[in-house]
């Protein structure tokens, strides 16, 4: 278990180092961030002052050394644009992104699981065929375009739901959430559905495949022979057994939800980390990009770890030391 943990942490460090190096020197090659910060009225002296204040007048190697020094004491630098510490900026946007990802995940389960279960129990019915065709379409639809269509249909044409923004956040038990009011749910409905779409298709497929496999097992036959009701067989024997792969995949997909929220947040102006990352990429705000990478990679490692541990609890046949060498 310990060597497993150490290896995981080592891998994460490797990823972070590689990505930070790429970003740090890559952004430098694309352009000098200073050109994003100055206004046309500034004279040469003012420009030089701004550059000096941010340390951008020094050669890139020196900037990197300075960054490493800051890192040693847990300082990732200040955002060029916002002037705030980059890590603080990222963390202040994290609750919004987490909220979106969690609601999307729940939506995917609530919609995908029953549909997949139905398609698995009645593989030849026309309804099942429609469900499966829909799931193929769900895989093919580009997320961002679906987002636009959702806005067009529900906001512009029907006027039911707001197109952009987030409800007023409130703090409950240390967590910041906008879901306490009805208005908050109205704001999150479209972006969460947009983000959930791919995962709905995925869960439908997993649930269907799992159901078709499990339904042939001896214990299901036995339960049937015992005279249990169909409802009870499905709810207890089938559902419990198809949940193992679904929980694993969902855990891993939670990370991809967070990554894909960059797209959804941008379309729906959802004030999360993803939107911040995109703005930072466009404005060459290097400290924020670097901070984002660190936070997200660490989050990923934690998620993967939790999934692995959960998996070994759900399925005792799996031993952590052997998995994923």
Partner 1 sequence: MSAVPAPTTTAAPAPAVETPIRRFLRTFAEDRVAVLGFSLFALIVLLAVCAPLITPQNPYDLAKVDLMDSRLPPGERMGDGFTAWLGSDGVGRDLYSGILYGLRISLMVGALSGLIAASIGMSVGLLAAYAGGRVETFIMRIVDLQLSLPAILIALILVAALGKGVDKIIIALVVVQWAYYARTVRASALVERRKEYVEAAQSLGLSTRAIVFRHIMPNCLAPVIVILTVQTAHAISLEATLSFLGVGLPQTEPSLGVLIANGFQYMLSGRYWISFFPGLALLLTIVSINLMGDRIRDVLNPRLEK
Pull the structure tokens for residue 193.
Answer: 């559905």
CA 290 to chain centroid, in Å, comes to 18
What are the residues binding partner 1 (CB under 8 A)? 11, 14-15, 19, 22-23, 25-27, 29-31, 136-137, 139-145, 148-149, 151-152, 155-157, 163, 255-256, 259-260, 262-263, 266-267, 277-278, 281-282, 289, 293, 296-297, 300, 304, 324
Alpha carbons 193 and 199: distance in angstroms, whole number: 10
Alpha carbons 317 and 145: distance in angstroms, whole number: 42
At residue 72, the 3 state secondary structure works out as helix
CB of 211 to partner 1, least distance (A): 20
Alpha carbons 36 and 106: distance in angstroms, whole number: 40
CB of 286 to partner 1, least distance (A): 9
CB of 239 to partner 1, least distance (A): 28
Please, which residue, 152 or 217, has the CB nearer to partner 1? 152
CB of 228 to partner 1, least distance (A): 34
Please, which residue, 19 or 100, has the CB nearer to partner 1? 19
Give the Å distances, CA to CA, from 8 to 23, 72, 251, 324.
23, 21, 16, 10
**Closest by Cα among 300, 104, 310, 274 to 203:** 104
Alpha carbons 136 and 197: distance in angstroms, whole number: 11
Please, which residue, 221 or 324, has the CB nearer to partner 1? 324
Please, which residue, 154 or 241, has the CB nearer to partner 1? 154
Q: Which DSSP helix (H) or strand (E) runs through 175?
A: strand 175-177
Pull the structure tokens for residue 252.
Answer: 């891993």
Please, which residue, 30 or 73, has the CB nearer to partner 1? 30
CB of 109 to partner 1, least distance (A): 19
Q: Where are the alpha helices (DSSP H) in the chain?
A: 2-30, 34-37, 44-54, 60-72, 86-121, 126-140, 143-150, 182-214, 218-225, 230-232, 239-267, 273-282, 286-314
CB of 78 to partner 1, least distance (A): 18
Q: Hey, how many other C-beta atoms are within 10 angstroms of the C-beta on 62?
A: 11
Alpha carbons 315 and 310: distance in angstroms, whole number: 8
CB of 122 to partner 1, least distance (A): 21
CB of 152 to partner 1, least distance (A): 5
Please, which residue, 166 or 275, has the CB nearer to partner 1? 275
Q: Hey, how many other C-beta atoms are within 10 angstroms of the C-beta on 240?
A: 11
Please, which residue, 120 or 255, has the CB nearer to partner 1? 255
Please, which residue, 180 or 209, has the CB nearer to partner 1? 209
């Amino acid at each position: 278990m310990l060597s497993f943990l150490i290896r995981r942490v080592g891998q994460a460090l490797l990823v972070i180092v590689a990505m930070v190096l790429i970003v740090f020197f890559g952004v430098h090659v694309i352009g000098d961030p200073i050109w994003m910060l100055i206004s046309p009225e500034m004279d040469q002296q003012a420009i030089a002052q701004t550059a000096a204040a941010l340390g951008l007048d020094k050669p890139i190697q020196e900037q990197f050394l300075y960054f490493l020094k800051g890192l040693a004491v847990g300082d990732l630098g200040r955002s060029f644009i916002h002037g705030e510490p980059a890590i603080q900026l990222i963390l202040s946007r994290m609750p919004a992104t987490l909220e979106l990802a969690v609601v999307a995940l729940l939506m995917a389960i609530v919609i995908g699981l029953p549909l997949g279960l139905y398609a698995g129990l009645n593989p030849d019915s026309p309804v099942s065929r429609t469900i499966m065709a829909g799931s193929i379409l769900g895989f093919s639809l580009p997320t961002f375009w679906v987002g636009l269509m959702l806005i067009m249909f529900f906001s512009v044409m029907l006027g039911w739901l707001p197109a952009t923004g987030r409800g007023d956040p409130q703090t409950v038990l240390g967590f910041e959430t906008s879901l306490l009011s009805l208005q908050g749910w109205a704001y999150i409905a479209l972006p969460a559905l947009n983000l959930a779409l791919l995962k709905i298709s995925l869960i439908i497929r997993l649930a269907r495949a799992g159901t078709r496999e499990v339904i042939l097992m001896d214990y299901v036959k036995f339960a049937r022979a015992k005279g249990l009701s169909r409802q009870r067989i499905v709810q207890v024997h089938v559902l419990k057994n198809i949940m193992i792969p679904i929980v694993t995949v969902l855990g891993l997909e939670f990370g991809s939800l967070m990554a894909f929220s960059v797209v959804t947040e941008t379309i729906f102006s959802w004030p999360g980390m993803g939107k911040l990352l995109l703005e930072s990429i466009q404005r060459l705000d290097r400290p924020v990009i670097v901070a984002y990478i660190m936070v997200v990679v660490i989050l990923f490692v934690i998620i993967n770890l939790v999934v692995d541990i959960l998996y070994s609890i759900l399925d005792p046949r799996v031993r952590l030391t052997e998995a994923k060498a």
